[in-house]
Structure 1
Amino acid sequence: MVQPQGSKFHVAMFPWLAMGHMTPFLHLANELAQRGHKISFLLPKKAKLQLQDNNLHPDLITLHGLAVPHVEGLPHGTETASEIPIFLNGLLATAMDLMRDQVEESLRGLKPDMVFYDAAHWIPELASHIGFKTVCYKVVSAAAVAIALVPARNVPKDRPLTDAELAEPPQGYPSSTVVLRRHEACALSFIALEFGSGISFYERTTTSMKRCNVIAIRTCQEVEGPMCDYIGNQYGKKVLLTGPVLPEPPKVPLEDRWAKWLDGFAHGSVIFCALGSQWVLEKNQFQELVLGIELTGSPFLVAVKPPSGAATIEEALPEGFEERNRGRGVVYGGWVQQTLMLSHPAVGCFVNHCGFGSMWESLMSNSQIVLVPHLGDQILNTRLLAEELKVAVEVDRDEDGWFSKESLSKGIKSVMDKDSEVGRLLKKNHAKWKEALARPGYMDDYITKFIDNLHEL
């Protein structure tokens, strides 16, 4: 237990209504509370129930459940992004904006010293007449912010950006490798789309960052230092880094059925594949995924949602797949304990989409890393791991972003085969980064410096 030091402050948090944002906000809340600071966490009522077990300091962290109003076009009862397809997120942003009065009333009563937020661009307006400092806390990579969400991007309001414009890094961008290729630029096209009534994603995000007192990013100087410096220069603000803010490994054991299954395989031999909670594959891409993993000849556990149009995983599997792989491979359509899976000694390769959470979990694991990104920020995270840090391999895709079973199998074999020079190099680099990130006191040092910087506010 870290002993509380110095004067204590009261933080309120109101993250974007997605588990991938609320969860890292709560991880940071736990770190602040561990050092004696008080947190008031504003979130949807259903999310409060889902996250309450992750509140490690209920004496100092209070979860306040708010009502999410209905917006025409959203399924009734929608409260978080994980409940809807990604193309409906703009309507969820409208619902979040309609929560402004609830948030204002809560903040007036709570009287926090500072408010952490990301997508609610109107929080600084409340600060001016309630009286608190504002921290715009980004839980995506600095690379994603630096290439897409800086003033130098200059997104026009009167027309959509072309793929050529999107593929061109903004002026002064500090990397020649962490960039989108021309055919991937469409993955960034959403930034110019409406995200909430009358405001684009780009306007919402840049306004949030322009009007805050300070920007904070869930990353570290060693991994993304030049990107963070660039963001600070673009916005003319100090950028505070929290480090990765990874939670302690779960106290619960790996679910018995998975532990027993994995125990039957040799050390480092199993391929584990997980693609996050929001990516629902097309059926033919799902089949290429499982066939590509089958082609490697290694044992495997694939945990993905059923593909679009399929009620279950089983009905979507290629003909004869289950019979061919019985005892060697499992494809599962439910949730699994990803961190615990990665810590099992039998798992030797992690195939993932390189969402920011999975990116850090990849780095902290002992597994080889194979990446099949889908969205713009995932593509940029992938470039960071594969081209800057050289700890992962990216699966080749065609110009439409699709990968084949052959390209997936080739990518996995390139890191899993015992005689692979690529595999040896990546493993060596990965071990160095893991050692640095897992150094005793490394995470604590970041949080301590972050808190010192907050006191300066």
Structure 2
Amino acid sequence: MPRPEGKRLHVAMFPGLATGHMTPFLHLANELAKRGHKVSYLLTKKAKIQLECGNLYPDVVTFHVLPVPHVEGLPPGTENASEIPIFLNSLFALAFDNMSDQVEAALSDLNPDVVLYDTAFRITDFAPKIGFKTVCYNVVSAASIALALVPARQMPKDRPLTEEELMEPPPGYPSSSVVLRKHEAKVLAFMSSEFGARTFYDRIITALKGCHAIAIRSCQELEGQFCDYIGGQYQKPVFLSGPVLPEQEKQPLDGKWAEWLGKFEQKSVVFCAFGSQIILEKQQFQELVLGFELTGLPFFVALKPPLGTGSIEESLPDGFEERVGGRGVVYGGWVQQPQILSHPSVGCFVNHCGFGSMWESLMSDCQIVLVPHLGDQILNSRLLCGDLKVAVEVERDESGWFSKESLSSAINAVMGPDSEVGSSLRKSHLKVKEILSSPGYMSNYVESFIQNLYEL
């Protein structure tokens, strides 16, 4: 169906209130606005402050602030899941649910053509009354949705899924690489836990079942088989937006870090970051930094202070700073990740394989070493290591613990000058990057996505 002449879409967005959800929604909003479409973005006061600098079209992308009702047990003023420990997510889900009346009123006033959401499953209740179409826009990998969140994986009504059941792929699952190990099935068992009045699984399945179309921040070349599987499972159209990566920031790297990185040879530094939500226990944190010391390579680690500690400095192993001297930095603040990854001295990126970091890894020239922590990160890692063969994953024992030796071994395996593993991964990575960075690749996906919205 061709686009109606002169017709511009009005798209409303209400992502889950966590940085890893809100930011990719804003990237998509900018792409829609660049093409003349109106976007109404529902968010909180803190999120507005956080995202304003990333709104490239403030005359077209308008923010609509909604308060988050307080729920007993949450720190006062909590507005973002990234502000709190993971064990409080269930209470935050309840607060998120309690925003439903405000969301309905806002959407009724705005009267959009289409609403994009991910975890806000109650949006589908408002759609018939207000008269908009619903698109469940997922900012996690298609591989993880296809393994954990399809109707073929039926949840028993009277009990959670066992670890053995979670380890078994659902019927027809299109990959033998993207699977769970026993200790990882425990991580994914949170699907059966209550998030507010419903389990996490119920929430996402309801969001996917109730929409007019499913959308995924992915592409056919990397995850086509999973997208096709999801479409067949839900009997719905699946729209792909592509990675929707922002243009490289023009802002230069902070002078302090540029000067430090500039001391080292090209592609010799190992950079490590685990995103905004991952906070390690002190013992695992110390094992991690000792692993970097063990590599003998220069390294830059950017992580939050471990649980129960006040600073990075007090958490470092005894004598660590003296031993690593000037070749290692462990920093507890925010850093410019894209600029660091593009620095000539950085040759390896050790990350948690959150979906944002996954794409940044693929678009970089760095070797990729993965230390996943949460369910979708584990499955993203399997995709990169198994199906795409562009990364290595740090080995863990049955409890999920990784040692300094296993971390050091994984890094040296990809960074060694004569490493066959490193050479093979680099070739596969280059092929993927060439696809993603080819002229018109990203914009063609966005154009196709917009056409899908018109046809809806």
TM-score of Structure 1 vs Structure 2, range by shorter chain: over 0.9
* CA distance in 1 between partners of 2:182 and 2:319 (Å): 38
The answer to whether 1:50 aligns with 2:50 is: yes
Assess if the C-alpha contact under 8 Å between 1:5 and 1:35 holds in 2.
no
The answer to whether 1:398 aligns with 2:393 is: no
The answer to whether 1:150 aligns with 2:143 is: no
1:110 aligned partner = 110
* CA distance in 1 between partners of 2:259 and 2:151 (Å): 52
1:331 aligned partner = 330
* CA distance in 2 between partners of 1:367 and 1:384 (Å): 17
* Aligned-residue offset at 1:157: 2.7
1:229 aligned partner = 228
Letter in 2 for 1:428: K
Equivalence map 1:153-302=2 (5 Å): 153-197=153-197, 199-302=198-301
* CA distance in 2 between partners of 1:17 and 1:127 (Å): 21
Q: Deviations over 1:266-304 (max 9, x none)?
A: 100000000111111111100110000111111000000
* Aligned-residue offset at 1:5: 8.2
* CA distance in 2 between partners of 1:62 and 1:408 (Å): 45
1:59 aligned partner = 59
Deviates most, 152-161 or 54-63: 152-161
Equivalence map 1:75-94=2 (5 Å): 75-94=75-94
Distance 1:215 1:265, change over 3 A: same
Letter in 1 for 2:100: R
* Aligned-residue offset at 1:181: 1.6
Q: Deviations over 1:12-40 (max 9, x none)?
A: 00000101000000000000000000000
Assess if the C-alpha contact under 8 Å between 1:138 and 1:217 holds in 2.
yes
* Partner SS, residue 240 of structure 1: strand
* CA distance in 1 between partners of 2:317 and 2:194 (Å): 38
Q: How many residues align?
A: 453
* CA distance in 1 between partners of 2:6 and 2:167 (Å): 47
* Partner SS, residue 157 of structure 1: coil
Letter in 1 for 2:441: Y
Letter in 2 for 1:52: E
* Aligned-residue offset at 1:73: 1.1
Assess if the C-alpha contact under 8 Å between 1:353 and 1:373 holds in 2.
yes
1:419 aligned partner = 418
* CA distance in 2 between partners of 1:182 and 1:315 (Å): 34
* Partner SS, residue 326 of structure 2: coil
* CA distance in 1 between partners of 2:89 and 2:157 (Å): 20
* CA distance in 1 between partners of 2:373 and 2:218 (Å): 21
Letter in 1 for 2:91: L
* Partner SS, residue 75 of structure 1: coil
* Aligned-residue offset at 1:183: 2.8
Assess if the C-alpha contact under 8 Å between 1:273 and 1:351 holds in 2.
yes
* CA distance in 2 between partners of 1:106 and 1:59 (Å): 19
* CA distance in 2 between partners of 1:61 and 1:236 (Å): 32
Identity %: 68
* CA distance in 2 between partners of 1:209 and 1:153 (Å): 14
* Partner SS, residue 239 of structure 2: strand
Letter in 1 for 2:454: H
Equivalence map 1:282-431=2 (5 Å): 282-431=281-430
* Partner SS, residue 174 of structure 2: coil
Instruction: Output the aligned Cα RMSD.
Output: 1.0
* CA distance in 1 between partners of 2:93 and 2:316 (Å): 35
* Aligned-residue offset at 1:326: 2.0
* CA distance in 2 between partners of 1:161 and 1:209 (Å): 20
* Aligned-residue offset at 1:65: 1.2
Q: Deviations over 1:315-339 (max 9, x none)?
A: 0100000111121100001111111
- Provide structure 1 residue ranges, at least 5 long, that are not aligned to the other structure: none
Distance 1:233 1:394, change over 3 A: same
1:136 aligned partner = 136
* CA distance in 2 between partners of 1:333 and 1:352 (Å): 15
Q: Deviations over 1:374-395 (max 9, x none)?
A: 1111111001111111110111
- Provide structure 2 residue ranges, at least 5 long, that are not aligned to the other structure: none
Assess if the C-alpha contact under 8 Å between 1:342 and 1:367 holds in 2.
yes
* CA distance in 2 between partners of 1:322 and 1:51 (Å): 36
* CA distance in 2 between partners of 1:322 and 1:134 (Å): 53
* CA distance in 1 between partners of 2:46 and 2:170 (Å): 39
Letter in 2 for 1:141: S
* CA distance in 1 between partners of 2:116 and 2:275 (Å): 25
Letter in 2 for 1:317: L
* Partner SS, residue 369 of structure 2: strand
* Partner SS, residue 252 of structure 2: coil
* CA distance in 1 between partners of 2:269 and 2:312 (Å): 20
1:453 aligned partner = 452
* Partner SS, residue 152 of structure 2: helix
TM-score (norm 2): 0.98
Q: Deviations over 1:77-130 (max 9, x none)?
A: 100011100111111111111111111111111110010011111101101101
* CA distance in 2 between partners of 1:294 and 1:67 (Å): 46
* CA distance in 1 between partners of 2:182 and 2:88 (Å): 26
Letter in 1 for 2:72: E
* Partner SS, residue 271 of structure 1: strand
Assess if the C-alpha contact under 8 Å between 1:113 and 1:133 holds in 2.
yes
Distance 1:292 1:6, change over 3 A: farther
Assess if the C-alpha contact under 8 Å between 1:174 and 1:230 holds in 2.
yes
Deviates most, 299-308 or 181-190: 181-190
Letter in 2 for 1:271: V
* CA distance in 2 between partners of 1:182 and 1:309 (Å): 28
